[in-house]
Structure 1
Amino acid sequence: MPTTYTAFTRLPAKDLADALSEALEELEPEPTGVGVFEIEDGSGTWEVGGYFLEPPNDIELALLAAAYNARPFVVSEVPDTDWVDKVRRELTPVVAGRFFVYGSHDAEKIPEGSVPLLIEAAMAFGTGHHGTTQGCLEALDRLAAQGFEGKSVADIGCGTAVLAMGAASIWPNPVIASDIDEVAVEVAEANVSANGLSDKLTCVEAAGFGHPDLSARAPYDLIFANILKQPLIDLAPDMSTHLAPGGFAILSGILTRQADEVVEVYAQNGIKQVRRDVIGDWVTLTMQKSE
């Protein structure tokens, strides 16, 4: 397997981080991928990282860091690893209410009467092992157990589409899933196909609700958004517009200390907290729009 290299730095503002990530893409050798992440410690710090198949140019990285008020890049060599095999060894099935999230290597472990959701090891982001995904599946299971049936469901920022697949697996109605990242949409479509749900579940590439198919299916009686605090806050007005009166929103990607702020913003948009669940450091909010 080819050796890969990473180069990471941190910056004090999102606009600087976004600008640096664009500049990073112009380097030679060209990175195979670039990411921008908010450091969830309340400091307002952002991390920018690039992945390379050849060692990046230290001088160019130093110039970029200086130009964008970033810390010096930390360059690391990533050891050769068969990541798919590693994930297969380390990922164990997850039980979240009636749902059983598993890889094909654990197919023989599916419990009788469960709703199985297959996520292949090569597509392991958002498998249910993270507390946010598990919390959302448990919230979905709870709503269904209370007699709710999602007739129009959307999963915004879907990742592997595990939440959308959960809804499509228990209800007969069509579901739509979206993600801002093209690769995530491809992963979602592969997982949907592997679970035999392609006739019920559509995946689209979109930022928030910014796709005509999402608008055409509104209003929704259930919307998942398992993303991060700030994108959730930014999404609140659109969430209110696209959610039917009395409809539910299941929100996560929120640290415990961030939950009150999210709840307050959504309340201002007519969507109030019904339940709050904590798994580790993460909160899942079940919200409902006023009738």
Structure 2
Amino acid sequence: MENKKFNFVLIQYSRENVNFADGINAYALEDFGCDGVEEFSLEEARVDEILGERAYSGGDIPESLIDEIQAATIDQDSFTYKYFFYQEDFEVNSSDFVFFIKENYPELPLFTAQKNFEDWNAEWKKFYTPIIVSERLEIIPEWLKESHENSPAQKVYIYPGMGFGTGTHETTYLCLSLFDKISDLLKPASHCLDFGCGSGILGITALKIKSMPTVFCDIDKSALNNCMQNLVLNFEGEMLEGSKLIIRDRYSPVLNDLVFANILENVLILEKKVILSSLNKSGFLIVSGLLNHQVDKIVSEYNSLEKVAVVSKNDWSAILFKRHS
């Protein structure tokens, strides 16, 4: 019996064109049958150094080179996304996606590879370890749940699935860190919106730590499915009254005391009216998905709010805003 395979495509974005990633991710998931997207940071010169004379664009590269690239720990001067294809017609879908990128984004380096499907879990899980946000908050992958039960910190369990927002990326970590700093200021019966929720890790943290009824909103149905999986993981058998999942097209603003928007700069600008209309008086807004140089632009766009804090990690930043009474 032939081993089932899956394909993946690596695309490198520079600082100058990383904003293409949001649109390309949407195309991959919605139009080309992509089954998951993962990001890791990689410096282009370092990739060239690893590949040496073997470097080329658009062809298959050996599995060992993929592993070597991903294992490189370097400063983040480029951002590499890995697009997974494994369901029916995965070879056609990945091939069509590669053709689309070459035709429309010829400046983006891309590489393709194929692996055995039985390697999938190991391939996916090896990138996720417990995330210590603070002394009182930890993010634990589902498969490590039992081994961390005795930790004194409050724990949010996550199954990364194939989406974004697992706590490992800088922007998610920064949002969680800001939430941890303000959680004691949030009043009982406060409400939360996780706008662009992905895996739901931010809203689930608010719901679990502060019992905040939370609306999880995303443009991607697969992200909402992963979010539901993580809600069940953290609240199995519990009634989550007041919380709901909703696709973006059906979301109408309601007032919340805490809003997370961990989305890219262009989406923060595009969705500004909806985000601001969802924030209550004296409410907190935590935004991220921002490169460091994009902070001033977003502060200017959201100048009706008080900028409380800006935190950064490597090339990424998050901003804490507060609405005046």
Q: CA deviation at 1:237?
A: 2.1
> Paired residue for 2:178, among 112, 116, 139?
139
Q: Which residue of 1 aligns with 2:322?
A: 288
CA contact (8 A) 1:21 1:34 kept: no
TM alignment of 1:132-211, pairs within 5 A: 132-146=171-185, 148-149=187-188, 151-196=190-235, 199-200=240-241, 201-206=243-248, 210-211=249-250
CA contact (8 A) 1:153 1:220 kept: yes
Give distance in 1, aligned partners of 2:27 and 2:121: 27
Give distance in 2, aligned partners of 1:166 and 1:60: 35
Q: CA deviation at 1:120?
A: 1.8
Q: Which residue of 2 aligns with 1:240?
A: 276
Quick one: higher RCO (CA 8 Å, sep 6+), 1 or 2?
2
Deviates more, 1:177-186 or 1:241-250: 241-250
CA contact (8 A) 1:127 1:160 kept: yes
When normalised by structure 2's length, the TM-score is 0.68
Give distance in 1, aligned partners of 2:191 and 2:97: 50
> Paired residue for 1:99, among 120, 123, 137?
137
When normalised by structure 1's length, the TM-score is 0.76
Give distance in 2, aligned partners of 1:195 and 1:246: 29
CA contact (8 A) 1:131 1:279 kept: yes
Give the direction of change, closer, same or farther, for the CA distance of 1:65–1:248 in structure 2 (3 Å limit): same
Partner SS for 2:302: helix
TM alignment of 1:268-279, pairs within 5 A: 270-279=304-313
Q: Which residue of 1 aligns with 2:260?
A: 224
CA contact (8 A) 2:196 2:216 kept: yes
Q: Which residue of 2 aligns with 1:54?
A: 91
> Paired residue for 1:262, among 298, 301, 304?
298
Give ranges in structure 2 of 5+ residues lacking alignment.
42-80
Give the direction of change, closer, same or farther, for the CA distance of 1:127–1:289 in structure 2 (3 Å limit): same
Letter in 1 for 2:283: G
Q: CA deviation at 1:9?
A: 9.6
Q: CA deviation at 1:235?
A: 1.8
Q: Which residue of 2 aligns with 1:28?
A: none
Partner SS for 2:5: coil
Q: CA deviation at 1:104?
A: 2.5
Q: CA deviation at 1:55?
A: 5.7
Give ranges in structure 1 of 5+ residues lacking alignment.
26-30, 41-46
Give distance in 2, aligned partners of 1:235 and 1:76: 34
Q: Which residue of 2 aligns with 1:43?
A: none
Deviation sequence 1:154-189 (CA, Å, 0-9, x none) = 000001000000110122341111110010010001
CA contact (8 A) 1:9 1:70 kept: no
Give distance in 1, aligned partners of 2:94 and 2:260: 41
Give the direction of change, closer, same or farther, for the CA distance of 1:76–1:69 in structure 2 (3 Å limit): closer
Matched, 1:115 2:154: yes
Letter in 2 for 1:109: H
Count how many residue pairs are aligned between Structure 1 and Structure 2. Answer: 266
CA contact (8 A) 2:159 2:229 kept: no
Q: CA deviation at 1:90?
A: 3.7
Cα RMSD of the aligned pairs, angstroms, is: 3.8
